[in-house]
Amino acid sequence: MNFSKIMASLVVLSATAACNNSTTDDEAPIIERPEVTVEDGKLTPELLFALGRVTDPKLSPDGSHILYGVGYESIEQNKSNRELWVMNVDGSEPTRITRTASSEQNAVWIDGGKKIAFLYREGDAMQIFTMNADGTDRRCVSKVENGVDGFVLSPDEKKILFISQVKAFDKAGDIYSDLPKSSGRLIDDLMYKHWDEWVETIPHPFIADFDGSQLTGITDIMEGEPYEAPMKPFGGVESLAWAPDGKSVVYVSRKKTGMEYSLSTNSDLYQYDIEQKTTRNLTEGMMGYDTNPIFSKSGKQLAWLSMEHDGYESDKNRIFVMDMATGEKTDITADWDFSVDQIAWSADEQKIFFVAPFQGTVPMFCIDVASHKVDQIADGDYDFAAVVPTPDGKVVTLRHSLSEPNEIFCVNPGKEVVKLTKVNDELLSQLKPIKVEKKLVPTTDGKMMTTWVVFPPDFDATKRYPAILYCQGGPQSPVSQFWSYRWNLRLMASQGYIIIAPNRRGLPGFGTEWNAQISGDYGGQNMKDYLSAVDFMKNEPYIDTEHIGATGASYGGFSVYWLAGNHNHRFAALLAHAGIFNVDAQYLETEEMWFANWDLGGAFWDKENAVAQRSYANSPHRFIDKWDAPIMVTVGEKDYRILASQGMMAFNAARLRGVPARMLVFPDENHWILKPQNAVMWHREFFRWFDQWLKPQPEK
C-alpha cells in the first residue's frame, strides 16, 4: 500500500466534545478510520494500522444495549484515538456517541443506563466525565490533582473507588532545598525502575462520595503506605471490587517494597471496611499472585484468580471461591490442569464463566461452583478475550483469530455464537484469504507439539516458499489464534512467507507440566522443539529449505540469539527484538528479580546451584563463535525489562565476527514499539531485512 495515498485519504474533522462546554484539545484533529485502497488483496503494515480496534464491551443494566470502544491509529498524527459506540444487544443500530480528539477510556453505564461515566484527558491528566447515553451533555466531575487511572462505582452509585498516583521516591530537590533543579534520584533499594519508567509515583485506591456531578470527601484508603495498589505495570480496575452492599471494597496489593518486592510475587486481596476504616487480608498465607477479585451478585461469595508459588509469575492461575460468611476458601479448578485468564459470575451465581488457553486456542468455559465440573461453551479456531454474562445466561465477548482482529460476539452456551459488530468486515473483505493449518509435530522426547502454519494468499502447493519460524516471548505466553498489531502472522504470510509457529515447551494450554518445563531450562528442550518444528516442515515440498528465517521478541529474541549459534545451517536470516543476549548481564540489569530467580534458577555466582549454572552456560553470547547467519536487532531504549544494551551487544558481536547485521534503535520506545510511525517503520524494516536474505533475486 502506498504511504502517500493513505496520508491523502485521512479524514480529519473538528472536535465537538466538551468538559463543561470546553476541552483542552478541541483544536486537535480527530482521528478517524483512514480511507485506504487495498492493492493485490494483501495485508500490509499500513492496512494493518487502518483496522479498527474493538475493545471493552459493557452490558447496560437492563441488558438491552452494549457499550464498547473502537480505536484507530493515525500514522500521520503518530497517535491513536478511541471512541465510544452503543448498539442494541442483538448487534443492530451501532451508533457512535463520541467524536473527540482524545480517547475515552474505562467507560461504564450509570443511572440505570441513562448515562455513561468514563475517563477523558482534561489538561495534563485523565479525569472522570459523565454524559447522556447518546453522548450529549458531557461533564467533567473530578478534579483529582494527579489524575484518575481507573474507577469503579459503588452498587448504589453514591461512591466512587478510583486509582490515582502518590509520590514514591525522593528527588535531590526534596532534600536539598538549594538544589531545586537537580534531577538526581536518590536510590537505596531495588525496584527503582519498572518496565519503562523510573518509579517516582505509585498507584493507590481512593474512595470519594459522588452525587452525580462532583467528587467530595476523597480518602486514600492506603494513606501512608508505600505499596502499589493496583500492582504495576499492568494492574487496573480489575484489581478493585465493591461488595454488593456497598459497605466495603476489595483491592489487590503486594505489600512489599524494594528488594523484598523485587523477589516476590506474593500479592493478596485486602478488604477495606468503609465505615470502620479497617483493612483485613483475605488471602493471608496464600503465597503467589492473588488477583481479579469479583463478588457474586448477592455478595455471599468472592471469586478470584490465584497462583500457588511465590516468585513464579506464570504459575497455573486457579479459580478460588471464598464463602464470605465462614471465610472458607476453595480451589474449584483443583482437578482442571489448565490456567485461567478471565472470570465472571453467572447471574444465578451457580457458575463462573472464564477463558483459558487450551490446545492452541483460547476457548470459553464455565465451571459449576458446587460440583467443579468444567464445560467448554465456545470453541473453534479462535481466541475469546472477554467475559460479560447477560441476565438470560448468554455471554458477550470479544473474539479474534490469526485471520481477523477483535469483534464483539454473543455466546449462547451449547448453541450458536453470533457476531454483533462488523467494524472491519468491509476492509477485510477486500483482502485475499489466508490458510491456517494446525499440525502435530513429533518432538525429540516423544511428545506431539501443536504447531500453527500460516500460508500466504494464493498459496500454490506446487511452488516453493521461504519460511519464517516464529519464536514466542513470555516465555510462557500462548501461541494461540492471537491477533497482534506487532507480531501479526497474517501480515508476515501476506508478504509471501510460510509462517511456522510452534507451541514449544513452556507455553500454556497443554497442562502445567508442559508450561512449567521451560523454567530453569533456557536453551534446552524448548529449543529442540523449535528445531523439530523446522525440520518437520522442511519435509514439505512447498518449503524452500535454503531460505528459512527465525524471528521473535523478548524470550523470542533470546531464542533467536540462541538459535544463531546452534542452528546447524537451518536458517538463512534472523531478526531479534528486545531479546536476552547475555544472561549473566541480564540477571543484574532487569528489575523483577523473582522472574530471573525462578526462570534462570538463581544468581550466576551461585556455583553450587546446578540449575542456575546450566542456565548461564546456555547464554546465547557463549555461542557467538558459531554465528553465521545474517542477523537484525531491534531495541527500545526505554525498555527496562531487557535493556537495549543486550541488543547492542549482540549487534556489536555480529559485526566484530564479520556476520552481516543491522540494528534499529528507538530511543522513545519500551519493550514494545507503540508509536504508529515507529511501528510502521519497524514493520517495513522487518520485511526489508527478510526479503533481502530469504527471497533470492534472479541472476541478471
Confidence at 697, pLDDT banded by 50, 70, 90: confident
SS3 48: helix
**Is the pLDDT assigned to residue 271 strictly greater than 70?**
yes
| DSSP string over 200-239 | -EEEEEEEEEE-SS-EEEEEETTTT----SS-TTT--GGG
Q: Is residue 66 a contact partner of residue 395, using CB atoms and an 8 Å limit?
A: no
SS3 467: strand
Rounded to whole angstroms, how far apart are CA atoms 255 and 214?
31
Rounded to whole angstroms, how far apart are CA atoms 101 and 32?
10
Rounded to whole angstroms, how far apart are CA atoms 410 and 425?
17
Confidence at 175, pLDDT banded by 50, 70, 90: confident
pLDDT for residue 35:
80
Rounded to whole angstroms, how far apart are CA atoms 182 and 40?
56
pLDDT for residue 186:
84
pLDDT for residue 181:
86
Q: For residue range 371-381, list pLDDT tens digits in order.
A: 999 999 999 99
Q: Is residue 232 a contact partner of residue 194, using CB atoms and an 8 Å limit?
A: yes
Confidence at 184, pLDDT banded by 50, 70, 90: confident
Rounded to whole angstroms, how far apart are CA atoms 609 and 613?
6
Q: Sort strands 65-74 and 240-242 into parallel, antiparallel or unpaired.
A: unpaired
The angle subtended at Cα 250 by Cα 244 and Cα 252, nearest 5°, is 150
SS3 363: coil
Q: For residue range 513-560, list pLDDT tens digits in order.
A: 999 999 999 999 999 999 999 999 999 999 999 999 999 999 999 999
Question: What are the Cα distances from residue 231, in Å, to 239, 249, 251?
Answer: 8, 16, 10
Rounded to whole angstroms, how far apart are CA atoms 539 and 543?
8
pLDDT for residue 696:
82
pLDDT for residue 9:
28
Q: Is residue 29 a contact partner of residue 465, using CB atoms and an 8 Å limit?
A: no
pLDDT for residue 183:
84
pLDDT for residue 414:
82
pLDDT for residue 19:
40
Q: Sort strands 268-273 and 278-281 into parallel, antiparallel or unpaired.
A: antiparallel
Confidence at 221, pLDDT banded by 50, 70, 90: very high
Average pLDDT in the 238-253 region?
98
Rounded to whole angstroms, how far apart are CA atoms 436 and 432?
13
**Is the pLDDT assigned to residue 442 strictly greater than 80?**
yes
Q: Using CB atoms within 10 A of its CB, is residue 437 exposed (0-12), middle (13-18) or buried (19+)?
A: exposed
pLDDT above 90 covers a percentage of the chain that reads: 90
Q: For residue range 7-53, list pLDDT tens digits in order.
A: 222 222 222 333 433 334 455 678 888 788 898 999 999 999 999 99
CA 697 to chain centre: 38
**Is the pLDDT assigned to residue 659 strictly greater than 80?**
yes
| DSSP string over 132-180 | ETTS-S-EE----TT--SEEEE-TTSSEEEEEEEEE-S-BHHHH-TT-T
Q: Is residue 72 a contact partner of residue 424, using CB atoms and an 8 Å limit?
A: no
Question: What are the Cα distances from residue 300, in Å, to 65, 352, 635?
Answer: 28, 14, 49
Cis bond upstream, residue 475 (ω within 30) = yes
**Is the pLDDT assigned to residue 604 strictly greater than 70?**
yes
Superfamily of domain 432-694: Alpha/Beta hydrolase fold, catalytic domain (3.40.50.1820)
Find the length of the chain.
700
Catalytic residues: 554, 639, 671
Q: For residue range 633-651, list pLDDT tens digits in order.
A: 999 999 999 999 999 999 9
Q: Which three cell numbers stand for residue 676?
A: 504508529
pLDDT for residue 171:
60
Q: What pTM value is reported for the model?
A: 0.94
pLDDT for residue 699:
64
Q: Which amino acid is at 95?
A: T
What residues pair up with 187 in beta bridges, in sequence order? none
Rounded to whole angstroms, how far apart are CA atoms 460 and 463?
6
So where are the chain's domains?
Answer: 432-694
pLDDT for residue 440:
98
Q: For residue range 410-423, list pLDDT tens digits in order.
A: 999 988 899 999 99
pLDDT for residue 12:
25
Average pLDDT in the 322-332 region?
98
pLDDT for residue 172:
57
pLDDT for residue 499:
98
Give the mean pLDDT of the chain.
93
Average pLDDT in the 483-509 region?
97
pLDDT for residue 24:
40
From 182-191, 456-465, 668-677, the region with the lowest mean pLDDT: 182-191
